Amino acid sequence: MDKWLFRIAGIFVAFVLLAHELLGSPMVLPPLHDAGVPAQVLWLHHFSWHVGSVAMLGMIFLFILGARQAEDLSMVCVATGMSIGFAVLGIGLAVLASHSLWDTPAPYAWTVTSALGIAGIGVRLKVRGR
């Protein structure tokens, strides 16, 4: 069961990545170009946007490879920790900075991924008898 939870987490992150790049980029990046922000701000945002994509690729591979490991939890712990960090960031910004973030996938997608990772880790530890 733990392997399926990790696989589902990896597949879910793959869908989030596709949505991030194919749906999110056109919604976010063109308005920045039209806003007249300084070039450094604009291109730092482009860079940051795609750093998120690279991080998601890493998470996908960590979850999928971690599902194949019978004993080693290190890969799924890293991917789950990243998910938890993203969830805390999304929820924290939505609560403390701007409620408008609740209208985006940020607080939700990473909470789902975190829950899948935590559940998989819990199942694997229980199977091991820890």
Tell me the pLDDT tens digit for each residue of 28-82. 888 888 888 899 999 999 899 999 999 999 999 999 999 998 778 999 999 999 9
Q: Tens digit of pLDDT for each residue in 3-13?
A: 999 999 999 99
CA 94 to chain centre: 16
Q: Report how far residue 123's alpha carbon sits from residue 104's, in angstroms, rounded to the nearest whole number.
A: 31
Place of tokens 């998470």: 59
Q: Is the confidence at residue 130, as pLDDT, over 80? A: no
- Helices then strands, each counted (H, E), the chain: 5, 0
- Calculate mean pLDDT across residues 105-128: 92
CA dist 105 → 53, 71, 90, 95 (Å): 14, 33, 9, 14
Q: Report how far residue 92's alpha carbon sits from residue 28's, in angstroms, rounded to the nearest whole number.
A: 21
Q: Is the confidence at residue 128, as pLDDT, over 90? A: no
Q: Report how far residue 122's alpha carbon sits from residue 129's, in angstroms, rounded to the nearest whole number.
A: 11
Determine the pLDDT at residue 102: 96
Give the predicted TM-score (pTM) of the model.
Answer: 0.88
